[in-house]
Structure 1
Amino acid sequence: MPRLNGHIVSGADVQTIHVPPLPALLAEVAEIAGRATALEIALKGGGQQIYVPHPERIEGSALERLIGRDGAMALSRIRPAEMVNLPVATRALIHHLRFERGLSSNEVAKRLRCSIDTVKRASRAFRDLRRQPSLFPS
């Protein structure tokens, strides 16, 4: 669908999708490695506690095996030699999978191991559908 200033534009309807904030640790990762890397960390390792080695010791570490090299390097830059609890970030992941990757509610629920009601409730909360006059009247 076409986008205009962060809105999905369809005829005279402009649908605003509110992007939920990331938990603090993931927000720090997003600043240095991008939102996609932060969300991959939550998707692959959310809910777990893990040791973050120094950047020079990332290769072959449990952290790298769990979340991949990009995420491991980003975490090691901000929290070297610490035990961290990786955030689950359910709302941010629902938004990412539904509206950025285009997965169905059922696919999101299966991937995140949550109920379909949780996905639908969160999806409704992100949407703000408004009727606006057309930007280019005929």
Structure 2
Amino acid sequence: MDSDKWANWLKSMYGIKAGNNMPQVIVADHSRLIYYDVDQHGEKIKFNSGSIFSTINGAFAGTVSYKHSENIVERLARYLNDKLVVVEQTVSHHPWGVTLVVIGTLGGLALWLRRMMREESALADDLNRKARLD
């Protein structure tokens, strides 16, 4: 990749600064927005087949640690978006089941609140009776 033309993108995605340390090799899994910049031995990936294949094998085996191309805020936003998509799919595929669950939850909450208010009222009545002096 042309490090002069793509300098800002390389810096934001992979932390690669254009300069005299080129060429630099990374192994990227762009579908998960992660990348590897060290091989199985913890050394920077060299521009040779042994180092590159060592990194790929380590990535598949899970022995090489990866880095994220996104910051923590972007990852949190992606996580929350994925959860909202799951909720949307559940509601669209099972509308009656979701409706019953929501009605049941609201009914249970109403009953619980009613019981708490009744207990609070009974407690207040008991306190009033004990406080009377006649």
Which interval holds the TM-score relative to the shorter structure?
under 0.3
More helix by share: 2
Structure number with greater CO (CA < 8 Å, separation at least 6) is 1
TM-score scaled by structure 1? 0.19
Greater strand proportion: 1
Largest Rg, 1 or 2: 2
State the TM-score, normalizing by the size of structure 2.
0.20
